[in-house]
Amino acid sequence: MSENWKSRTKLVHGGTRRSQYNEVSESIFLTQGFVYDTAEQAEARFVEIGEDEFIYARYGNPTVAMFENRIAMLEGAEDAFATASGMAAVSGALTSLLKAGDHIVSAKALFGSCLYIVESILARYGVEVSFVDGTDLDQWRAAVRSDTKAVFFESMSNPTLEVIDVAAVAEIAHAVGATVVVDNVFSTPVFSDAIAQGADLVIYSATKHIDGQGRALGGVILGSKELIRGTVEPYMKHTGGAMSPFTAWVMLKGLETIDLRVKAQAESALKIAKHFEGHAALERTIYPGLDSHAQNALVQTQLGGNGGTVLSLDLKGGKEVAFKFCNALTIPVISNNLGDAKSIATHPATTTHQRLSDEQKDDLGITPGLVRFSVGLEDVDDLIADLTQALEAAQR
C-alpha cells in the first residue's frame, strides 16, 4: 500500500484487507462482534484496540475500516470515521467538538438538515451560533471571537452553488484557535483538496457521489488522527451512528469508480450549463464552472477548475413553470438525491429547503423558479435534447 499512489490506484486498492481466503473483491464482514481466544485477550483489547483489531461493530468492523482507509487515502487525511448517514457525520462532528457555552460561526447557506442542527439543536444545548454570508471574508473576520470553538460551512452551497474559500476561512478561524468543519458534498472527494487547504474535519454524505448509484445512506468524517480518534470516535462509538458493514461494502465499490463517474458527470454538467446559459426561458444558469459564476476564479484555484456535477436553472415564471418543466422531463427523474448515475431534478423551495422561511429562501436566492439539476451518466446530448423540450413545454 503506497501513499505515493495516484488517486485512481488508491480508489481501487486502498485499504484492502483480505481474509485467510485471499478473496479478490472486498469481503462483507457482516458481523456485529468478534471472538477472543482467551479472556485475557478480551481484557487487553478493551484496554487498547490495535490497528487491525475489532471488538464491536458500533466501534469498528473490517469492511468499514477498509472504506475508512480508502476514502482517507483519497482525501489525504490521516484518518476517518464512517457514519450511518451524512447527517450522522455532520451532527457527530459538531456535537463531539462543542459544549455548552461555546460559540460557532456558520455560513447561512446550508442544507435544511444542517441548518436544523446548527440553528435548533446546538442552540438547545447552549452553543451560540453566528451566521455569515460564507462568500464574504469580512463577515467571517468580524464574526470570529476568542471563544469561537468551530466554524462550519458547505464548501459549495446547496442549491445555489456558491463557493466558499476554504483556505481563507481556515486562516481566519485558525487565528482564533477554531476548528474548521467543512461539509464537502458538492465539491466531491474527487475535486476537493480541503484538508490540504486547511480544513480540520471534512464531511461527506456518502449517499451522494461515493455510492453514486442511489442504493444506500452513509457518511464519513475525515481529519487528523488526533481529532478523529481523540474527539470524534469516542462520541460516535458511544452514541451509535456507525456505518453498517453492508453499506461500507457498497461505498467501497462506489469508490472504485468514483473518479471516472464524477469526472464524466462534471464534463456533462459544464456542457449543459454552457448550452443553456442565456436561454430565453431562464433567469439564471448557475454552475461554478462557468466563467460567469461569481466565484469562478476560486473554482480554478480550489477545485482545479472543476465546477462539480450539479447545476441550478432558475426558470422565468416561478413555481408553476418550474413544476411544468420538471413534469415534462423524460430522462431525469424527479427526486432529491444528487451525484447519482441517473440525472435528478429537484425543486428545492418545495422539497429539500421547504422548512426555510420565505425570508431565508429570498436571502439565499432559493427562488420559486429554481430547479437543481444533478447531472448523471446518461449521454449528454440526450440530456440537452430532453431539457430543451421540457423548457419549451414549460412555456405552454
Ligand X SMILES: *Cc1c(COP(=O)(O)O)cnc(C)c1O
- 168-207 residues in contact with ligand X (CB under 6 A) are 183, 185, 205, 207
Taking the least distance from each CB to ligand X, the nearer of 299 and 391 is 299
CB–CB of 54/62 below 8 Å? yes
Report the b/e string of 296-332 with b at 16+ CB within 10 A: bebbeebbeebbbbbbbbbbeeeeebbbbbbebbebb
Least distance in angstroms from the C-beta of 186 to ligand X: 6
Question: Which is it for the CA torsion 188, 194, 157, 154, positive or negative?
Answer: positive
CB–CB of 57/83 below 8 Å? no
- From 81-89, 170-178, 193-201, 258-266, span contacting ligand X (CB under 6 A): 81-89
The rounded distance, in Å, linking the Cα atoms of 287 and 275 is 12
CB–CB of 287/270 below 8 Å? yes
In the list 66, 182, 201, 217, the residue contacting ligand X (rule: CB under 6 A) is 217
Tell me the number of residues near ligand X by CB under 6 A: 16
The rounded distance, in Å, linking the Cα atoms of 156 and 299 is 10
Residues 6+ apart with CB under 8 A from 238: none
Least distance in angstroms from the C-beta of 236 to ligand X: 14
CB–CB of 340/376 below 8 Å? yes
The residue at minimum Cβ distance from ligand X is 86
The rounded distance, in Å, linking the Cα atoms of 114 and 133 is 16
Regarding 81 and contact with ligand X (CB under 6 A), the answer is: no
Regarding 90 and contact with ligand X (CB under 6 A), the answer is: yes
Regarding 111 and contact with ligand X (CB under 6 A), the answer is: yes
Least distance in angstroms from the C-beta of 304 to ligand X: 20
Least distance in angstroms from the C-beta of 84 to ligand X: 8
Least distance in angstroms from the C-beta of 204 to ligand X: 8
Regarding 158 and contact with ligand X (CB under 6 A), the answer is: yes
- From 80-88, 249-257, 319-327, 357-365, span contacting ligand X (CB under 6 A): 80-88
Site residues (vs ligand X, CB under 6 A): 85-87, 90, 111, 113-114, 154, 158, 183, 185, 205, 207-208, 217, 219
